[in-house]
Structure 1
Amino acid sequence: MTDTLRGSLLMVLAMGAFALEDVIIKSVAAAMPTGQVLILFGLGGMAVFAGVARAQGSALWHPGFCTRPLIWRAVAEVSGRLFFTLAIVLAPLSLASAILQATPLVVTAGAVVFFGERVGWRRWLAIVAGFAGVMMILRPGMSGFEATSLLAVAGMLGFAGRDLATRAAPRTMSNAQLGLFGFAMLAIAGGIALAWTGGAVWPTGPQTLALCATVTIGVLAYMALTGAMRLGELSVVAPFRYTRLVFAMVLGVVVFQEQPDLMTLLGSAVVVGSGVFTLLRSKTPR
């Protein structure tokens, strides 16, 4: 098995795990405040990555946590996690996941603005087409518009900001340290949400098991994603990110009886197609 094939399989595994993580969070949040779910999820992930960091001989605290890129990453991570979690709880999972697929397009546009990268006219057309696909999904002013879908847009913008800030993070930071930092921001996002809504409850046995499963799946997904991005040709491996939408739509139909309409499916196809084209064209500015 080649590194590229191994990386592609790891990417598919990671996207399936992330979609399953969303399903469990959406299910648990039906009986528990969303903020509390995020806090418990974040603390669990922190504990796992703290253990990984110590096992690798890495310090739990890195001076890079206080640098400007990591501060911006923290703000973006908190907003992205908070708004996207609210989106998957309050909106259809398939709808929120479809909007999330525009993240690479926003990252590409942001790389031009913040890092001076060159993007040719073909990729600019793909970015514009991708945003048009998002508008097809949102349908503002039309009968199919769901206000809760704007939460997914806010979450997507937060994740794009996180990805851009991560590129500027100190290279001396290990993946375990970044994972620890990311899950800490998730717990902070949950604290903000819980402070606003209140209503914390003591988890039942099944809820505790579900949260433990979420932490396990989330950590495995993160590790699989990291492994995928380090194996093989990035231009081949990266487009498999979009399998998350397929997993999310199937799980949304099976678990929550969602029925994405034709406009949502068409908009999703436009967003995914634009993103794949942008990734495949990333090696050339023309």
Structure 2
Amino acid sequence: MDNLRGSLFMVAAMLGFAIEDMLLKRVAGSGMPVGQILIIFGAGGMLLFMALTRAQGQRIWHPAVVQPRMLLKAAFEVMGRLFYTLALAFTALSSASAILQATPLVVVAGAALIFGEKVGWRRWSAILIGLLGVLVILRPGLEGFTMASLLAVAGLIGFAGRDLATRAAPKVLSNFQLGIYGFAAMVPTGAGLLLWQGGAVAVDMARGGQLAAATVIGVAAYWALTVAMRTGEVSVVTPFRYTRLVFALILGAVVFAERPDAMTLLGSAIVVAAGIYTLLRSRRAARL
């Protein structure tokens, strides 16, 4: 029952993240600068995580926040959010989401190279195959390649770096506290980008409502992800992370009339298959 409950929470979390991406893409498509989106989204998420932190009886500020590893985590968080939001603004939702699915593969590779975790030849092979799947989606050198697709790759690197830095984060900081500082880092980043983009636009009811919904749904998805990872077995629950791509494909088709071509679908299948295999192998290796 724990595995079933954890899997359902993981699916709910991935649905939430896919809806969040869709809403942010809609706002960006309405003409709102990405810098302004980051400011509003970051401030809203920060305030919600502050409320959750206080509800748990925890402190908003902790001295461990200024440790170098936390500053590094914030830098990667900014990189991931900035470039992935730009990718949502300028590329197809399905393509950006498909590339993002390679994040666990990069995290496993980074854990081996940085933390010295043992990764056998099977998992290294799966990682390389998964990255090959990303290249199939990008199709460099071919007619379907666009430079804007590299924004999603930069976002992927940022999120992978954030996840690796989270492993090294001080244990005294809770997930909610980490959420505060992660979202807070978006505000100055968005302000700097907004100055470069030339200024803000009016926030009407439609834009404001979509940003508010994206913030609430994103925080709820983060909470569901935390519950999922703490409820069931990692080897059972984590593969359901890839349902995010399924939801992104559906939302992209319904909301934005996207029709992914054969190479995008093939590359997505390669990335997902390699990711699931790597996760299962990681779990098996941990038991040995």
Q: Which TM-score band applies after superposition, normalised by the shorter structure?
A: over 0.9
Instruction: Give, as a single letter, the amino acid of the residue that structure 1 aligns with 2:216.
Output: T
CA distance in 2, matches of 1:189, 1:241: 28
Match of residue 266 from structure 2: 266
Match runs of 1:238-249 below 5 Å: 238-249=238-249
Distance 2:173 2:59 in 1: 10
The aligned counterpart of 1:38 is: 38
* TM-score normalised according to structure 1 size: 0.97
Asked if the contact 2:136–2:267 (Cα under 8 Å) also holds between the matched residues in 1, the reply is: yes
Q: Secondary structure at the match of 1:29?
A: helix
Deviation for aligned residue 1:166: 0.1
Alignment of 1:19-168 (within 5 A): 19-30=18-29, 31-168=31-168
Find the counterpart in structure 2 of residue 227 from structure 1.
227
Q: What corresponds to 2:14 in structure 1?
A: 15
Secondary structure of the structure 2 residue equivalent to 1:277 = helix
SS of residue paired to 1:282: helix
Contact 2:136 2:264 in 1 (8 A): yes
Take 2:256 and 2:119, find their aligned partners in 1: how far apart are those partners? 40
Structure-2 separation of matches of 1:93 and 1:189 = 23
Q: Distance in 2 between matches of 1:271 and 1:77?
A: 22
SS class of match (2:21):
helix
Asked if the contact 2:134–2:271 (Cα under 8 Å) also holds between the matched residues in 1, the reply is yes
Contact 1:78–1:188 (Cα < 8 Å) also in 2: no
Alignment match, 2:177: 177
Deviation at 1:188, TM superposition (A): 3.0
Spell out, residue by residue over 1:16-69, the C-alpha distance to the aligned partner (whole angstroms, 9 max, x if none).
110100111011112211110111011111111111111211111111211121
The question of 1:202 aligning with 2:241 is answered no
Question: What amino acid is aligned across from residue 255 of structure 1 in structure 2?
Answer: V
1:227 Cα offset (Å): 0.6
Q: One-letter code of the match for 2:51?
A: G
SS of 1:110's equivalent?
helix
Q: CA RMSD in A?
A: 1.1
Tell me the CA shift for residue 3 of structure 1. 1.0
Count of aligned pairs between the two proteins: 285
1:175 Cα deviation from its structure 2 partner: 1.6
Q: AA paired with 2:159?
A: F
Give 3-state SS (helix, strand or coil) of 2:69's partner: helix
Letter in 2 for 1:190: G
**2:26 maps to amino acid:** S
- Residues 112-138 of structure 1, C-alpha deviation per residue, up to 9 Å, x if partnerless? 111100001110110010011011000
Q: Could you tell me the percent identity over the aligned residues?
A: 60
State the 1:186 CA deviation: 2.3
Tell me which amino acid in the other structure corresponds to 1:67: Q
Please, which runs of 5 or more residues in structure 2 have no aligned partner?
Answer: none
Structure 1: gaps spanning 5 or more residues: none
Deviations 1:210-265 (A, max 9, x none): 11111110110110011111111001101111000000011001100111000110
Partner SS for 1:281: helix
1:112 is paired with a residue of what secondary structure?
helix
> Counterpart of 2:246 in 1: which secondary structure?
helix
Stretch of structure 1 that moved more, 59-68 or 219-228: 59-68
| Counterpart position of 1:6 | 5
Amino acid in the other structure paired with 2:108: T
Look up the equivalent residue of 2:176 and give its one-letter code: A
Aligned to 2:190: 190
